[in-house]
């Protein structure tokens, strides 16, 4: 009886830990959006905001470096798919 209680308690603690760890991983996947300057902002503050916004947009839309698929590779992949069906 006591062993079963320990097992369930351990399992619950591990599950809560995994949920918290996964939540922190999701929150760190994207950079934070820069806050806009106030209406009465100086030129330097506006320039800093525009630079931060440009950096944010570049980070969000950055190129993903993957292997370019050649035409021959595409044909081979299509043949493999047809064989599986």
Whether this model's pTM surpasses 0.75: no
pLDDT tens string for the chain (85 positions)? Answer: 667 778 888 888 888 888 777 765 655 667 889 999 999 999 999 999 999 999 999 888 876 666 555 556 666 667 666 766 5
In whole angstroms, what is the distance from residue 59 CA to residue 23 CA? 21
Domain extent at residue 32:
2-84
- What is the tally of structural domains in the chain? 1
85 three-class SS: coil
């Amino acid at each position: 009886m006591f062993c079963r209680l320990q097992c369930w308690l351990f399992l619950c603690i591990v599950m809560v830990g995994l949920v918290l760890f996964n939540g922190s991983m999701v929150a760190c996947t994207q950079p934070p959006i820069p806050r806009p300057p106030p209406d009465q902002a100086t030129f330097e503050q506006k320039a800093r905001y525009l630079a931060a916004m440009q950096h944010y947009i570049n980070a969000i839309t950055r190129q993903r470096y993957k292997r370019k698929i050649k035409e021959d590779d595409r044909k081979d992949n299509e043949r493999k798919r047809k064989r599986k069906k």
